[in-house]
Structure 1
Amino acid sequence: MRQHVNPLSRFHQRPLALPPPAELFADPARPIHLDIGCARGRFLLAMAEAQPENNYLGVEIRRPLVEAAEAERRALELSNLHVLFCNANVSLEHWLACLEPGLLGRVSIQFPDPWFKKRHHKRRVLQPALLLALASALAPGRELFLQSDVQAVIEPMVQLVEASGCFSRPAADARPWRGANPLPVASERETHVLQQGLPVYRVLFQRNRQPLPALALLEHAAADNRP
């Protein structure tokens, strides 16, 4: 389901104070898998049951989907999962900066809204400031996983990540796209795309030890990469 919400609207540009891990999870010391744009959250519900040793946080800009995901989470009594309503590019940066070092274990961005029109590209989810916030919170070796069924969407994401210099691909991964999903659970969108016999474009990155670039430099690189 793609129900576009304009993330640049005045309502969605208001920052929200997201609860700290201690208010979200029964055991806040477990590593957190952050899924940005989690939609209905069924991927996270399955992951939380399959790998209870981790905590899972989904963020989603469409409030009805968050409410449905949270209702199911409560029904299943999952204490290692939470889904929050927010605009990732407005509210996540402060939350990430307040995390204890090493707590963020993995970040995934799966099948984000494509915003095909050129004038709408600034609405796409992976913007330079958010990428730097993620890179700052991820310890060396921790993962950033991207996938989409739209090549024109994932290519600028990959170019932005690579331009940052903060991430490297595992040596064994094929280029330009990884063949298999490294996660044990497929999202609903991934399952649907594969059932149609269509390709999925995947890239797994690992945080390296390079320092963060200046935001202005990364914004300039992002502008150069826009079609």
Structure 2
Amino acid sequence: MAGIKRTADGDDMDIVGMPQKKFYRSRAHCNPLSHNDSFVYPLRPNAMDWSTHYPNIENPKVEFLDVGCGFGGLTIALATLFPENLTLAMEIRPKVTEYVRLRIEALRKDSLETTKAYQNVSVLRTNAMRYLPHYFEKGQIKKMFFCFPDPQFKQRNHRRRIVNTHLLTEYAYLIAEGGILYTITDVEDLHNWHVAKCDAHPCFERITDAAELEADPCVKAMTEETEEGKKVARSGGKKYIAVYRRLKNATIAANTSLF
């Protein structure tokens, strides 16, 4: 945005209370299957109180999920792209989660007297590989994003990848019919893994129409607004995108015995 001063890390200096990334640096990834930090989570979705996350929204209902949100670049972009939808960023690392929380808080305060923007986004520290069904009802999610997830290069660690057959079934339960699952990575091997797992899953079909993908603002946002995406662009690397639509239950039933 013109006129806004930014630090070398891309932090908005003109916004009061905006945190600086240099104070919230953390390891790029952690092992979600052996993470020992305790998480408080509801026993069931209807036991979750979302009012603290969206205090100015009546009867808040999350529809977009940014899983492994990093420093929140995509989440912030979605706030303005889809002002009528609630986006939740999910992150396992405490320092990074706190950065995103403070970033959202600063943006909310900065816009309070004008547009009252960013009331529709929040961040939650949790382990998405373990606890997603505790937070969301069946078919609640319209869009789910996995941007530059941990590649888990070693074959013995592939079970830790956030996109796998078991978890795709969980995602299919949470995503509404016709909802979209987005993936992006700069690792070709991981991209091929995403495609292989999603192609083989009976609940998803890949969106291959170039015109449809180009018209989708989410594709542009996850390519250009995430911190990892910007880093890849600066280094001249390549980004690999795979986008999938959650099929209708009737279509799945006609093709399989899942329903």
The residue number in structure 2 matching 1:33 is 64
Superposition misfits of 4+ residues, deviation over 6 angstroms: 178-181
Query: Any stretches of 5+ residues in structure 1 without a counterpart?
Result: 215-227
Q: Say whether residues 1:202 and 2:205 are aligned partners.
A: no
The residue aligned with 2:93 is: 62
The residue aligned with 2:45 is: none
Q: Which residue of 2 aligns with 1:7?
A: 32
User: What is the total number of aligned residue pairs between the two structures?
Assistant: 207
Distance change (3 Å), C-alpha of 1:43 and 1:116 = same
For 1:93, give the aligned amino acid. Answer: P
Q: Distance in 2 between matches of 1:153 and 1:71?
A: 31
**1:83 is aligned to 2:123:** yes
Secondary structure (helix, strand or coil) at the match of 2:181 reads strand
Question: CA, structure 1 residues 15+67, in 2 after alignment: closer, same or farther (shift >3 Å)?
Answer: closer
The structural deviation recorded for 1:28 is 4.4
2:165 corresponds to 1:125 = no
In the alignment, the residues of structure 2 paired with residue 28 and residue 192 of structure 1 have an alpha-carbon distance, to the nearest angstrom, of 37
The structure 2 residue matched to 1:48, chosen from 79, 83, 100, is 79
Partner in structure 2 of residue 154 of structure 1 = 191
Q: Sequence identity of aligned pairs in percent?
A: 30
Alignment of 1:142-221 (within 5 A): 142-170=179-207, 172-173=209-210, 182-183=217-218, 184-185=220-221, 186=224, 187-209=226-248, 210-211=252-253
> Contact 1:20–1:95 (CA<8 Å) still a contact in 2?
no
Give the match for residue 133 of structure 2. Answer: 93
Query: For the Cα contact (< 8 Å) 1:93–1:130, is it kept in 2?
Result: no
Deviations for 1:34-90, whole angstroms, at most 9, x for unmatched residues? 011101112212321343111111111111100110011112223211111111111
Cα distance change of structure 1 residues 179 and 52 upon mapping to structure 2, 3 Å threshold? closer
Measured against aligned partners, the alpha-carbon deviations of 1:3-60 in whole angstroms (never above 9, x if no partner) come to: 2212121515x56415354553314456621011101112212321343111111111
**TM-score, structure 1 length as denominator?**
0.79
Q: After TM superposition, give the deviation of residue 156 of structure 1 in Å.
A: 1.3
CA displacement 1:92-139 (0-9 Å, x = unmatched) = 12323xx2x553110010100111111222222223332112111222
- 1:200: Cα distance to partner? 0.7
SS of alignment partner, residue 163 of structure 2 = coil
Which ranges in structure 2 are unaligned for 5 or more consecutive residues?
A: 1-25, 43-47, 109-117
Say whether the 8 Å CA contact 2:179–2:246 is kept in structure 1.
Answer: yes
Instruction: Give the distance between the partners of 1:202 and 1:129, measured in 2 at CA.
Output: 21
Q: With structure 2 as the length reference, what TM-score do the two structures score?
A: 0.70
Name the SS of the counterpart of 2:90 in structure 1. strand
Aligned-CA RMSD value:
2.7
1:189 and 1:162 map into 2 onto residues whose CA distance is: 25
